[in-house]
Amino acid sequence: MMRQYELVERVQRYKPHVNEALLNKAYVYAMKKHGGQTRASGDPYFSHPLEVAAILTDMHMDESTIAVALLHDTIEDTSATKVEIEELFGEDTARLVEGLTKLKRLDLVSKKAAQAENLRKLLLAISEDVRVLLVKLADRLHNMRTLDFMREDKRARIAEETMDIYAPLAGRMGMQDMRDELEELSFKHINPEAYGTVSDRLAQIANRHAGLLEEITGTLRGLLADNGIHADVASRRKKAWSVFKKMESKGLSFEQLSDIFGFRIIVGSIDECYRALGVVHREWKMVPGRFKDYISTPKQNDYRSIHTTIVGPSKQRVELQIRTWRMHEVAEYGVAAHAIYKDHGAATVGEGKPNGKGGGAAAFKDTNAYAWLRRTIESLSEGDHPEQFLEHTKLELFQDQVFCFTPKGRLIALPRGAIPVDFAYAVHTDVGDSCVGAKINGRIMPLVTQLQNGDEVEIIRSGSASPPAAWEALVKTGKARAAIRRATRAAVRKQYSGLGHRILERAFERAGRPFSRDILNDGLNRLAHTDVEDVLAAVGRGELASAHVIKAVFPDFQDEKLSTPASAELLGEGWFNLTDASGMMFRFPGGDVPAGAVANGDGQSSHQTGDSDRTLPIRGAAGDLPVRFSPEGAVPGDRIVGIATPGKGITIYPIQSPALAAYDDQPDRWIDVRWDIDEANRTRFPAQIIVTAINAPGSLAEIAQVIARNDANIHTLAMVRTAPDFTEMIFDLEVWDIRHLTRLLGQLRESDAVSTAERVNG
């Protein structure tokens, strides 16, 4: 374990005037607080924050960030408090430690239901101070390095999460070295067989070509020196994950890979970068299509370098990267590299080696990577569903870029495979929404054309256009997908609003009352809606009865259909509202009399539920038919249908029920029904869920407690399959509605006793 003085010396190598007192105090405080705690490996727990601090010293972080690394687990795992840390180390350090504590409590591992929301909170915390991200990534890196000591199932979940979230996030912030190691360690645990095979082959090739690599390195160094360019030249080998990913995506065999080895040329200035490129291209032939200049057009994570591939001295393809020392630091450490060149916003030094100054939080603010993070945070205000936000962010994290131009020369960076629609939305949301065509390099091309580096794209617009919903499956950027979803929702809402307007016009006319949008404003509070458009759309969707709107606007309006506690209303659009005495209401289409109904004298029928004596009289229908639920149940919020059985009544099914397939050839038995629940008379409804629980004492009790805490009721429980590690249980529950059921499932998935929790036939 690293000693106190050794940590100070590591920081002094790049920051001679380090605040030793701060580091010493943080070291001693954390060591005392963690005391006799141990990790899964058996090592003292304090070794973990110490290793996290060591990783950050490799990134040349300032002493305040190193202190935060030493303290990052104290509030979560010891008796330490934020107030105590603030008194000892200052407000800034205490705030960062508390932020990291909250992130640890929101650990994403195996909590897929909450992963999107937790990622939101992670990015929000990072946006306030990017040092939170640096410590979090260093923490994850050390945990991955020691993952072998965890349980096998937990190893796989942590590795998958690291590959999905943390590795690409490190790459998006420009920290390529950390991304590479996180991906390698994740690959090792996600697919150990493939990892072992690829690693062995790479090691064999490295041994076989060791002499050739030294020869090429010496040749390049000598050639550049002969032309007056002092350069550091080193060979590098691709990582196992990078090789495997390329083989898998392009369908290549190991023997077909031509860029397993590459060479990095580091020089003192940008001018020498281009001079070195000229020297190399004059000496050896360049491979067409393999040249990229990220100095003139940097990547969005601030990466700058020249990439080229030549047919080298041994007639083999040789991949070269040419960059300055400044670019090299940014390429390796990303946003962390700015702390080397900035001191709380100080001016950037030259392109040569760093001057040894360390920076604080202000050092990161003007980086492109940080700007991307701010743009991603802005998307939180768009109101997307959390899972859509997660999809959006993952698309942004994983993108490999192409660079295109507007007719006026504005550079637009897009993910590889992007189409003109992505380009349009990247320019502006309004441009995307009104896009009807595109010119690529002056020629009209299909909107599904994949864009290439250097394309000039001109978007053709129409003021009356709106994006088709099908575009969502074609675009590559999260911004475009989110905008198309919003536009589609707005278009559907507009259609329902128009239908609702026509329904209310007729209903108000029949009631002998005036109708206008302004009149509806008077009833918004009673209808629990915020604007008139919401009311119209709700009526159009069948969620709100027209008579209820009339009553809300004109409280003195008397209508027999509204005053009867158990009645049915024949709506103008041809629907029956079927309401029982407790307030539970279904809707049946007018004129669609259930099979088996028998006329009676007063022109009404009573629909009796299968579980009680409540009746549902239908005005204009006839006969007595019981109404019951299918075994898997249905809850308000589900799209439901009724299946009529002569002499037995109507069974209510959720639309996704597999049992409905048995009635596909009997369309006369299908009855369209809808919910219309009276909030004042709440009724529970049946739902069936299947829970895979970990086989451990107390698991069932913990699951039952979660269900009880969420105000649900267990009707029956069946153990359907038991294995050494897991038990599958089917619960018949009673819940209020679909939101209640969804919240309950989310809470169950959060429980340590639960592996999976799903709705049966959900």
Q: Round the CA-based radius of gyration of the chain to a whole number and report it.
A: 33
Average pLDDT over the chain, rounded to an integer: 77
Round to whole Å and give the CA distance between 166 and 761.
33
How many residues comprise the chain?
762
State the helix-helix crossing angle for 63-71 and 91-105, rounded to 10 degrees: 40
Range 198-204 contact pairs with CB under 8 angstroms and sequence separation of 24 or more: 198/240, 198/243, 198/244, 198/254, 199/240, 201/254, 202/237, 202/238, 202/240, 202/243, 202/260
Round to whole Å and give the CA distance between 481 and 237.
37
Where are the CATH 3.10.20.30 domain residues in the chain?
A: 399-463
Whether the Cβ atoms of residue 337 and residue 329 lie closer than 8 Å to each other: yes
User: Could you tell me which residues are beta bridge partners of residue 638?
Assistant: 636
Residue type, 50: L
Percentage of the chain beyond pLDDT 70 is: 76
User: Could you tell me which residues are beta bridge partners of residue 308?
Assistant: 320
Highest mean pLDDT among 28-42, 323-337, 567-581: 28-42
pLDDT digits (tens, 9 = 90+) for 189-215: 999 999 999 899 888 888 887 788 888
Tokens 């800034």 -> residue: 92
pTM of the shown model: 0.55
Strands (E), 462-534: none
Would you name the residues annotated as active-site residues? 76-77
pLDDT given for residue 495 in this prediction: 79
Q: Which two tokens stand for residue 193?
A: 């067989």
* Banded model confidence at residue 577, pLDDT cuts 50, 70, 90: very low
Round to whole Å and give the CA distance between 459 and 471.
16
* Banded model confidence at residue 69, pLDDT cuts 50, 70, 90: very high
Fold of 685-759: Alpha-Beta Plaits (3.30.70)
Whether the Cβ atoms of residue 71 and residue 26 lie closer than 8 Å to each other: yes
Where are the CATH 3.30.460.10 domain residues in the chain?
A: 199-363
pLDDT digits (tens, 9 = 90+) for 94-152: 888 887 775 555 444 434 445 555 566 666 666 667 788 889 899 999 999 999 888 88
The three-class DSSP label of residue 390 is: helix
Domain 199-363 = CATH 3.30.460.10 = yes
* Banded model confidence at residue 602, pLDDT cuts 50, 70, 90: very low
Round to whole Å and give the CA distance between 255 and 244.
12
Which residues, other chains included, contact 637 with Cβ-Cβ below 8 Å and sequence gap of 6+? 675, 737, 738, 739
User: Could you tell me which residues are beta bridge partners of residue 318?
Assistant: 310
Fold of 399-463: Ubiquitin-like (UB roll) (3.10.20)
Tokens 């911004």 -> residue: 479
Where are the CATH 3.30.70.260 domain residues in the chain?
A: 685-759
Asked if pLDDT for residue 241 goes beyond 80, the answer is: yes
Where are the CATH 1.10.3210.10 domain residues in the chain?
A: 4-198
pLDDT digits (tens, 9 = 90+) for 9-30: 999 988 888 889 999 999 999 9
Tokens 């281009």 -> residue: 274
Domain 4-198 = CATH 1.10.1740.10 = no
Which segments of 296-438 does DSSP mark as H helices, in order? 325-333, 338-341, 368-378, 386-398, 420-427, 429-433
- Strands 670-672 and 713-722, sheet pairing: unpaired
Task: Give backbone dihedrals phi and psi of 2, rounded to 5 degrees, phi first.
Answer: -65, 135
The three-class DSSP label of residue 535 is: helix
